[in-house]
Structure 1
Amino acid sequence: MASEYDYDLFTIGAGSGGVRASRVSAAHGARVAVAEEYRVGGTCVIRGCVPKKMLVYGAHFAEDLEDARKFGWTLGECSFDWKTLRDNVLADVDRLNGAYTDTLENNGVDIIHERARLTGPHEVTLDSGKVVTARHILVAVGARPRVPDVPGAELGITSNECFHLDAVPERVLIVGGGYIANEFAGIFNQFGATVTIVNRGDTILRGYDESVRDRLLQISLLKGLNFRFHASPTRLERTDSGCIRVEMTGHDPVEVDCLLWATGRVPNTHDLGLEDAGVELGEQGEIKVDRFSRTSVENIYAVGDCTDRIQLTPVAIREGQAFADTVFGGNPSCVNYDCVPSAVFSHPPMAGVGMTEGEARNKLGSVKVYQSDFRPMKNVLAQRNERSLYKMICHGENDQIVGLHMIGPDAPEILQAAAVAVKAGLTKADFDATVALHPTMAEELVLLR
């Protein structure tokens, strides 16, 4: 390690990718510093998937308490207190922030609570004006919610602010059709809000298997969610009563108490000095990197959502690990992006890995599709008509499983194990040869016909 620099590695951003890269690099013997202008942990831990999953758990109790009566439980009058859940979630975020901070410090990583900008290929300047040099610089600044440029857009909130609301709004309008929109739609709906999803197209969750996403739409409608397709807000304004009046294309205006922008995320690379340092950016501000996460500048790297490869926390973590092993561990490594599983924590949740049926037909031509459309045992006894759908897509010539997609209770938990089989290239016959674990929902995967 060269001594002419202050550090061997300077990481900008202490999210999932930056923390993993910094910790492992330090374990390999590098002198490491991390600059984080907000809180250690990043989007996932502080204002994303972790606190959101806690809200999902809280929302599930709405139906669980109702179903409990069918299982013999006598319950008194139940009420929900948003502030209790909110404050408990935020307290756990504080705990995780501390845990991530301890992880870095215990590995000898210096944490600098300031914003950092690149001012040279080996140099960053902190907000305080201090200049720090490093042999290698890693950019791991993540992404931020996209807010459309329409009049009054500032009256809406993003997923960042959902965790800090003073109360559950009575009427919520969610703009977008992706996973963030559908997850918060389910959360607010279960907490008693009237929810409307506004989508510029006619498809929710584009990129997921058509049968599974259509099932979610059907169930969402039955749960009372409203959808306005081919609609885009054109103006927001505050009314005399304090509500938000939303004008949109193709539909009449509506008045709501809260509007949530869930229109995607953009790399958080603005005003970081990247272009001045010679780092090449894409049209959306994403940092262009090679398979080893190296940018157009030899000693500057980038991982995570700011590269706009696959915006998932586990992917950022793997990229951070691979970077550290490559640069400081003497083991050149890169991430394989094939068969990355993903989930939507909607109500009910859905999950998938590999190719959708449409993708498989376009790429392979000959495919075989196996499905199980069933009502989970718990729903039967609870007299809830909600049905699950499991779908397996196989190569038509050799029966290799190229995709698994499902919607239903615990679908993400079930898919995690099944994704190993898809990644390993197993066939339908391998699933058929596995004895079912009965009675479970997961056994449908080895009983598909």
Structure 2
Amino acid sequence: MSDFDYDLFVIGGGSGGVRAARVAAGEYGAKVALAEEDRYGGTCVIRGCVPKKLMVFASGYAELVNEAQCFGWDIKPGTFDWHAFKTRLNTELDRLEGVYRKLLANSDVDTYDQRATIKDAHTVQLANGETRTAKHILLATGGRPVRPDVPNAQLGIVSDDIFHLESLPKSILIVGGGYIGCEFACILNGLGVEVTMYNRAAQILRGFDDEARGLIAESMTNAGVDIHCGTSIVEMALESEHEAGTMPSNSDAAMGATAEQSNELNNCDARAGTQGPIWVKASNGAEKVFDMVLFATGRAPNTDGMGLEEVGVSLGRRQEVEVDEYSQSGVPSIYAIGDVTDRVNLTPVAIREGMAFVQTVFGGNPTPVDHDLIPSAVFTQPEFGTVGLTEEQAAEQEPVEIYSASFRPMQTAFAEKNKRVMMKLIVSKETRVVLGCHIVAPNAGELIQLVGIAVKAGLTKEQFDATCAVHPTMSEELVTMRSPTRTA
């Protein structure tokens, strides 16, 4: 008989945690429990990928009406009903959460709808005061959006809050030009909101391919997003308090707030948009009033108050759980997967990490996690799909050839829209292997999934060229670019 209540206790009911729990129980017969303090499905299903992508779809229809008219359709623009959309959105999220719960139940996983923390290497402390023991503990607690240290930052919302708005603002300032900020800028702009973006860096989408970043920034600007690079917030307050000169001088959100105050700030429920317009002063000296401010300034691993360091689990600079290639922490019985490890923060990666963990611990097959050549997409408008090295990364590594084509695709050219797409391959001069691919185009996420197979397989430029083009398509450029645009 086991000395523990469970073979595995998973903390976190997101995609990675749920997959690990149900596979360990359903396929390997382990006795498994899972605790989740919020909704099952985690960031992706409840407050990330899924609702965001549905908003992307919703935001694209206004423009389709105009294009359809150019193709002979006698249809008129309508109005967007946020309440109707949000009602359907919540119904869908409820359905998906139910699916996750059912998957766990069908695998005989015990579930605890409450917060769980680590008491010792084999003991989990539940919020109700009870404890459970397990031979193995898996941390899959994910991450959370954070607010910057600026006065009155609690007046702004974060990405989690977007899906709970009672109504859309007329104007919004998005602070941060990463993929989350850019995605919501495009979404809200498409839904009729006046969008301004402040980005500290010289260009949006830091870390991605420079040529692609430039085209996306140009497309966003042409669509009406007011982008200010090299700019950040230095001060903000309710417009009424600013005009009355009654701005708080000692806010918990002010610069120099204690760690405890900062944690409280980052976990607070956003009420922006309910108190009135927000006055903002920018680093360039400009002052402006917005209906709402959205902070898209980064995310942090959910390790606060988990008791990890007390039991010997090492945390990194950003408070992420430090793990080895098998997702094992410094405490042999405690593993971690997903965003809480801050390796590659993508849902499919968390799922693969969960599967590798189960194979290692319960399958008797030590399986390191493969984080190489992971395709991903940014759901801007147009979308951005990417896999492998950027031009800049590749050039630092070895001599490369760049094959790049930017053009107006047939559909938008016919509608007399000045929208451009980009297809780009990074090729090693020595081996001819395609080191990276970057696509800026409608449905680039769908395209990069397929190209990702070829890049992961290590195919050469000549093997791309040997593939017959599908005509007329945008993606045929990937196999018809014969001469390099430049070398690096």
Q: How much has 1:77 moved relative to structure 2?
A: 4.5
2:465 alignment partner AA: D
Distance 1:204 1:77 in 2: 31
Q: Which residue of 1 aligns with 2:358?
A: 324
Q: How much has 1:403 moved relative to structure 2?
A: 0.4
TM-score, length of structure 1 as denominator length:
0.98
Q: Which residue of 2 aligns with 1:231?
A: 231
Q: Is the 8 A contact 1:231 1:251 kept in 2?
A: no
Distance 1:443 1:87 in 2: 40
- What pairs with 1:109-148 in structure 2 (closer than 5 Å)? 109-148=109-148
Does residue 1:376 correspond to 2:409, yes or no? yes
Does residue 1:169 correspond to 2:169, yes or no? yes
Distance 1:71 1:200 in 2: 41
Task: Provide Cα deviations, 1:286-312, integer angstroms capped at 9, x if missing partner.
Answer: 000000000000110000000000110
Structure 1 ranges of 4+ moved more than 4 A: none
1:421 alignment partner AA: A
Pick the aligned partner of 1:428 from 461, 467, 478.
Answer: 461
Distance 2:220 2:364 in 1: 50
Q: Is the 8 A contact 1:368 1:395 kept in 2?
A: yes
Distance 1:235 1:87 in 2: 35
Q: Is the 8 A contact 1:29 1:328 kept in 2?
A: no
Distance 2:369 2:408 in 1: 38
2:9 alignment partner AA: F
Distance 1:154 1:200 in 2: 20
Task: Provide Cα deviations, 1:100-121, integer angstroms capped at 9, x if missing partner.
Answer: 1101110111110010010110
1:372 alignment partner AA: A
More displaced 10-residue stretch of structure 1: 409-418 or 68-77: 68-77
**2:138 partner SS:** strand
Distance 1:270 1:204 in 2: 30
Pick the aligned partner of 1:262 from 296, 302, 327.
Answer: 296
Q: Is the 8 A contact 2:65 2:76 kept in 1?
A: no
Distance 1:448 1:104 in 2: 48
Q: How much has 1:169 moved relative to structure 2?
A: 0.9
Q: Is the 8 A contact 2:62 2:77 kept in 1?
A: no
Q: Is the 8 A contact 1:151 1:236 kept in 2?
A: yes
**1:40 partner SS:** coil
Does residue 1:391 correspond to 2:424, yes or no? yes
User: Do the aligned partners of residues 87 and 379 (structure 1) sit closer, same or farther apart at CA in structure 2, a change above 3 Å counting?
Assistant: same
Pick the aligned partner of 1:289 from 323, 331, 352.
Answer: 323
Q: Which residue of 1 aligns with 2:257?
A: none
Q: Which residue of 2 aligns with 1:271?
A: 305
Q: CA RMSD in A?
A: 1.0
Aligned length: 447
Q: Which residue of 1 aligns with 2:43?
A: 43
Q: How much has 1:123 moved relative to structure 2?
A: 0.3
Q: How much has 1:251 moved relative to structure 2?
A: 3.2
Does residue 1:17 correspond to 2:23, yes or no? no
| Aligned-residue identity in percent | 48
TM-score, length of structure 2 as denominator length:
0.90
Distance 2:101 2:145 in 1: 25
Distance 2:86 2:414 in 1: 32
2:456 alignment partner AA: K
Q: How much has 1:29 moved relative to structure 2?
A: 1.1
Structure 1: which 5+ runs fail to align?
none
**1:118 partner SS:** strand
**2:286 partner SS:** strand
1:339 alignment partner AA: L
Task: Provide Cα deviations, 1:123-155, integer angstroms capped at 9, x if missing partner.
Answer: 011110001100000000000001112211111
More displaced 10-residue stretch of structure 1: 63-72 or 291-300: 63-72
Distance 1:247 1:306 in 2: 34
Task: Provide Cα deviations, 1:280-336, integer angstroms capped at 9, x if missing partner.
Answer: 001111000000000000110000000000110011000000001110111111221
Task: Provide Cα deviations, 1:214-236, integer angstroms capped at 9, x if missing partner.
Answer: 00011111111111222221222
Structure 2: which 5+ runs fail to align?
241-274, 483-488
